[in-house]
């Protein structure tokens, strides 16, 4: 089933010049970009995005970090993409992430773990709606799609 997911390259990925390397991994896998924008997240949006963590000890630090610099907010489309991109990202703690995953290859600490990806189809819908308007989502057909999907 074709799904959409929300992926955000966090300020550490942007500052370290890793955007192209990470985007290339998703494209090489065969996923299709539907929307991308470089942005500074307003504090209010960050608090809504990470609302499930409100009241936890790391919440304020997380909000300060995610609003500290530009992020690359993206929507990707593909078969079983929500679960597959979670695998490509690797474990939340980079020390537990396997080599070959984004966090395993690029991140050092949980608090600077490079990338966020939706954890369910429902979360993806909510996060996409937080960061993108309908007119920013581009539906399109690639000529290579028959080579990717039966």
Q: pLDDT over 90 for what percent of the chain?
A: 91
Which CATH number covers residue 31? 3.30.70.141
Q: Is residue 120 domain-resident?
A: yes
The catalytic residue among 97, 116, 124, 131 is 116
Residues in the chain: 150
Mean pLDDT across the chain, nearest whole number? 96
Q: Is residue 150 domain-resident?
A: no
| Domain assignment of residue 87, given as a range | 2-139
Q: Is residue 146 domain-resident?
A: no
Q: Is residue 149 domain-resident?
A: no
Q: What is the pLDDT of residues 11-32, one digit of tens each?
A: 999 999 999 999 999 999 999 9
53 is catalytic: no
pLDDT beyond 90 at 96: yes
Q: What is the pLDDT of residues 62-92, one digit of tens each?
A: 999 999 999 999 999 999 999 999 999 999 9
Rounded to 5°, the CA angle 30-139-81 comes to: 35
Q: Is residue 148 domain-resident?
A: no
Question: What are the helix (H) ranges across 1-108?
Answer: 11-15, 19-29, 43-49, 59-66, 81-89, 102-106
How many domains are contained in the chain?
Answer: 1
Secondary structure letter of residue 120 according to DSSP: S
The pLDDT of residue 89 is 98
Q: Is residue 130 domain-resident?
A: yes
CB 132 within 8 A of CB 73: yes
Q: Is residue 39 domain-resident?
A: yes
pLDDT beyond 90 at 150: no
Across the range 49-61, mean pLDDT stands at: 91
The pLDDT of residue 141 is 92
Q: Is residue 144 domain-resident?
A: no
pLDDT band at 149 (very low <50, low <70, confident <90, very high): confident
The pLDDT of residue 46 is 97
């Amino acid at each position: 089933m074709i799904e959409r997911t929300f992926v955000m390259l966090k300020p550490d990925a942007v500052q370290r010049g890793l955007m192209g390397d990470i985007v290339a991994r998703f494209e090489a896998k065969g996923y299709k970009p539907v929307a991308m924008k470089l942005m500074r997240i307003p504090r209010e949006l960050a608090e809504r995005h990470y609302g499930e963590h409100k009241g936890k000890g790391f919440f304020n630090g997380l909000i300060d970090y995610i609003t500290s610099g530009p992020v690359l907010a993206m929507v990707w489309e593909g078969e079983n993409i929500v679960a597959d991109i979670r695998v490509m990202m690797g474990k939340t703690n980079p020390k537990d992430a396997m080599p070959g995953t984004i966090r395993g290859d690029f991140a050092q600490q949980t608090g600077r773990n490079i990338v966020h990806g939706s954890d369910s189809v429902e979360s993806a819908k909510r996060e996409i709606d937080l960061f993108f308007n309908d007119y920013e989502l581009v539906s399109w057909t690639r000529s290579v799609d028959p080579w990717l999907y039966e």
